Each structure stands twice: as C-alpha cells, then as structure tokens.
C-alpha cells in the first residue's frame, strides 16, 4: 500500500473501503491525475484588459458593472481590448457576428478570462465570439428548432413533451448569449438572418402557462428556463416559484440559469435575487418539495474563486445546484478539459448532471462533435470521482424523442456519420437520428452527403437496420 502517493504506487489488488463503505479493490494511483482542479484563480486577471486595467476588485466584481458593461458589438470589443488583438482578428469577429444567428453579449468577467495571447483557440472565446473564418456549412439535415420544442407547446413558451415534466420558458433574454444556444430560434435579439419567436416575461403569458400546469395533474416537475432566469427580478423569481409550489401535484422544479458560469458576481452581491431563490427553496423543503438550480459550466477555466464565493452563498442556504454541459469541439472535447470540469464542479459541490452532445444548431457546425467523441470521453471520465458526480453523456434527439444515452444507439455507422436511436418511453415506435459533422467524414462520404438522393439512401438504409 502506498504511504506517499508521490513515491509509491499502490497495487490494484489492495483492499479497502470505497466511498460507499463497501470492501473492494482500491484503485491505482493515477500519475496523470492531480489536484489542480482545486487551484481556483484568485488573481486580478481583468487587469490585462486595457479598459479594466485600473479597476479594483470591488469595482470589477460589482454585478451591476458586469451587467452594464457587456460587450454587445465588435466595435465595443475593440474599444475595450484596444491593441490586445490584431486587426485581422477584429475583422474576423465582425464578419462572424454579421453571419451569426445569436446576438453578441459577453460579460467583462468572461472577456477577461480569455487568453488574449491565443484567442483563436481559447475555449471561452470559441463559445461566445464567432470567427467567420471558422464557420462550416450547416449539415443538410439541420432544422432550426431541431428539438421540435414548438411542436410540443400547448401554450406559448411552455413545452410538454414528457408526461410528468414541463419546460417553462419564462423569458427570452440572458445575461450573455452563447453561440451554440439550442433555443437560438427564440433567445436574444433578432439578428440579420433570423427573426425570433419572442417569449417576454409577461404575467399574462405566465398565467396561461400556470393554468395549463394546474389542469394537467400528471405534471410533477417543471424546468424554469428561457432565456435565463438570472435576468428575472427577485419578485418575479419569487412569484414564479411560489405559484408552482402552490400547485399540489408539482413535487419539484428547477430554475435553470447560466448566470453562475458567466456572471458569478450576482450571487455574491445581489442579496434580493439570492434571497428569492433560497427563500423559495426553503419554502419547498417545508412542503417536502424539491427546488434546485441547474447551471451550465462548459470548461474549468470558467470557474474561479469568485465563482466559489457565489455558489457558497447558495450552499449556505441549502440550495441544490447541478450542472449541465454542452460538448463542443475545441472547447471541452478532450479528456483533460472534461475531467478538470467534473472534478472542479464536484469540488464546489455542484453536481455534474449531464453532458449534452451538441444539438444541430444553425451557424455553429464547427462546434459539433461526432457521437464517437462523446462515447470515448464518457469512458475516459467514468471512475474519475464518485459515480453520482459523473455526468450522463446524452444527446437530445432531433424531432422530439428526448434525451438518449450516447451508448444506447441502435445503429451507428461511423464512416457515414449517422446514428439511429429509439425512445420507447417518449415516442414508442419512432426512430431518431444523429448526424456527425460532415467535415469530420472522409471525402467520399462528404460527396455522398452533398447529393440529395444519396443522402436519402444513407438515411433510409440506416433506418432499415433498426427493426423495432
């Protein structure tokens, strides 16, 4: 048995108690794993950005400063960064923004965490600042609302797909806008190419959603999303939460927000908002109902000391926080980033819940990965920490079949880049497809996909391989 992990390596045959107390083989020490996930940045990292160089920690970490000074145009980016990036980079961003389906909105916090010595490959830049030079043509099978949320919407902004759950889009704005957003059909401002379906935070629309939920006693669980509930006022968070708690058959609900990952300062200093979330969660516990917060970190570099400070305020009040990650090429599609993220979230006691294979979203084909990437990553991270902190790697099937585990495909042709799934509990009898990015296929397959008849053949023969 190793006494000092630096010098000796324990054998797989050693026997001890694991975290659940059962007696079994103790894992080997892994020299490729370390404790760097605990080293949260606590330096004045914003000072290398010219416009923020003179700001004190108190000024920079003021959530109102963060909110008021988001980067919303390529011109503003240049004003803030000055000569921090090249003219060619600025031109690339400007052209990217013009072609993008999402409006640009990036917090000073995230902007400062980008490595401006190599922005082209930085994982935070990749998620929020489009570069036209990186764009790839969309997959020919892409549809705008690929998850078919609008088809399952009995009331504007309410999706009822799974029998016992409903998705409530409370508003259509966010503290930042992510390039890869699945709801780019509705979230954010209209862009040059897209006129969006807007879901404003109006009481009238909310009342229609509440009425629907009241009338459907099979619904036990609601996801309150958007847009992003970080942008709701404390009174709105409270009204929404208490209304849901008052519905007898609602047993649990989740507030979904990317806020902690992109503007953690709000958790530290917006007492009213934190108080509203925590107050609703406490009231839920009194009624034996569960209220949790689901957030959305994608890379360990997004998590700093201020993030921990903010999340600790929710932990102090007993709020359960879980995380959902989107798998993205060039962001977190490698073992080091995914392991680092899982370990860092676990360290903060945020439960890594899901890793989603990137949905088919217009204009961000360069961010999608193959299904095989997700399968391999899942194998690599399972075992890195306790099982309840290992996220499920899933894909949300196009066409409304819901989430399927990446290993549960009925058919997957890696050469043709097509996977087939079934979803017996959600859409019995139907088949759902996943399409790998075309540029990841060999040239012969790319040519086949470019031909409409060949495309139909590929899809039809994949469908035929699955009999049930």
Least Cβ distance, residue 290 to ligand SF4 (angstroms): 22
Binding to ligand SF4 by residue 359, rule CB under 6 A?
A: no
Least Cβ distance, residue 62 to ligand SF4 (angstroms): 21
The catalytic residues are: 161-162, 165, 174, 178, 181, 183, 359, 396, 403
Least Cβ distance, residue 13 to ligand SF4 (angstroms): 46
Binding to ligand SF4 by residue 109, rule CB under 6 A?
A: no
Least Cβ distance, residue 464 to ligand SF4 (angstroms): 36
Side-chain half-sphere exposure of 341, counting CA atoms within 13 A: 30
Stretch that binds ligand SF4, among 45-53, 179-187, 419-427, 446-454 (CB under 6 A): 179-187
Site size with ligand SF4, rule: CB under 6 A: 10
Binding ligand SF4 by CB under 6 A: which of 63, 125, 139, 183? 183
Binding to ligand SF4 by residue 177, rule CB under 6 A?
A: yes
Residue closer to ligand SF4 by CB (options 213, 364) is 364
Q: What one-character-per-residue DSSP string does 306-322 give?
A: HHHHHHHHHHHTT-EEE
Write phi, then psi, for 418 (nearest 5 degrees).
-140, 130
Q: What one-character-per-residue DSSP string does 30-78 give?
A: -TT--SGGG--B-S-GGGGSGGGTT--HHHHT-HHHHHHT-B-SHHHHH
Binding ligand SF4 by CB under 6 A: which of 149, 228, 396, 436? 228
Q: What is the rounded CA–CA span in Å between residue 179 and residue 21?
A: 44
Binding to ligand SF4 by residue 367, rule CB under 6 A?
A: no
β-bridge partners, 222:
166, 253
Residue closer to ligand SF4 by CB (options 55, 267) is 267
Stretch that binds ligand SF4, among 28-36, 208-216, 220-228, 354-362 (CB under 6 A): 220-228
* Nearest of 375, 378, 453, 370 to residue 415 by alpha carbon: 370
Residue closer to ligand SF4 by CB (options 124, 178) is 178
Write phi, then psi, for 158 (nearest 5 degrees).
-125, 120
Residue closer to ligand SF4 by CB (options 178, 291) is 178
Return all residues near 265 (Cβ < 8 A) that are at least 6 apart: 61, 62, 63, 65, 66, 109, 306, 310
Contact 262, 175 (CB under 8 A): yes
Binding to ligand SF4 by residue 187, rule CB under 6 A?
A: yes
Residues in touch with ligand SF4 (CB under 6 A): 174, 177-178, 181, 183, 187, 226-228, 258
């Amino acid at each position: 048995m190793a006494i000092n992990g630096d010098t000796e390596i324990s054998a797989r045959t050693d026997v001890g108690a694991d975290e659940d107390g059962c007696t079994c083989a103790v894992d080997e020490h892994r020299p490729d794993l370390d404790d760097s996930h605990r080293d949260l940045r606590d330096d004045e990292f914003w000072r290398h950005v010219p416009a923020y160089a003179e700001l004190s920690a108190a000024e920079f970490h003021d959530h109102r400063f963060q909110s008021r000074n988001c980067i919303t145009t390529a011109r503003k980016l240049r004003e803030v960064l000055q000569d921090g990036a090249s003219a060619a980079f600025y031109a690339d961003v400007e052209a990217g923004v013009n072609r993008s389906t999402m409006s640009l909105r990036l917090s000073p916090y995230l902007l400062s965490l980008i490595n401006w010595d190599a922005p082209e490959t930085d994982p935070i830049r990749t998620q929020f600042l489009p570069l036209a030079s990186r764009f790839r043509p969309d997959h020919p099978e892409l549809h705008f609302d690929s998850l078919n949320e609008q088809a399952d919407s009995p009331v504007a902004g309410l999706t009822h797909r799974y029998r016992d759950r409903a998705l409530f889009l409370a508003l259509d704005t966010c503290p930042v806008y992510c390039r890869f957003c699945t709801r780019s059909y509705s979230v954010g401002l209209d862009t040059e190419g897209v006129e969006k379906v807007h879901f404003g935070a109006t009481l009238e629309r909310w009342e229609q959603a509440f009425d629907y939920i009241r009338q459907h006693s099979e619904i036990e669980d609601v996801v309150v999303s958007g847009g992003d509930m970080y942008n709701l006022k404390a009174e709105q968070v409270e009204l929404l939460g208490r209304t849901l708690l008052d519905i007898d058959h609602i047993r649990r609900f989740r507030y979904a927000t990317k806020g902690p990952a992109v503007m953690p300062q709000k958790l530290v200093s917006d007492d009213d908002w934190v108080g509203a979330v925590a107050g609703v969660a406490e009231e839920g516990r009194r009624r034996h109902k569960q209220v949790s917060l689901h957030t959305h970190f994608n890379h360990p570099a997004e998590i700093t000391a201020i993030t921990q400070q903010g999340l600790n305020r929710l932990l102090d009040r007993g709020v359960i926080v879980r995380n959902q990650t989107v798998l993205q090429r060039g962001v977190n599609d490698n073992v080091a980033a995914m392991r680092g993220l899982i370990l860092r979230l676990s360290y903060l006691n945020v439960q890594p819940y899901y890793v989603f294979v990137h949905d088919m979203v217009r204009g961000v084909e360069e961010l999608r990965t193959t299904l095989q990437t997700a399968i391999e990553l899942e194998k690599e991270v399972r075992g890195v920490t306790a099982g309840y902190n290992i996220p499920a790697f899933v894909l949300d099937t196009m066409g409304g079949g819901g989430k399927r585990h990446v290993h549960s495909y009925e058919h997957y042709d890696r050469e043709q880049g097509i996977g087939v799934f079934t979803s017996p509990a959600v859409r019995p009898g139907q088949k759902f497809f996943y399409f790998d990015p075309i540029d990841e296929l060999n040239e012969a397959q790319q040519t086949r996909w470019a031909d409409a008849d060949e495309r139909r053949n590929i899809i039809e023969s994949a469908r035929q391989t699955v009999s049930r």
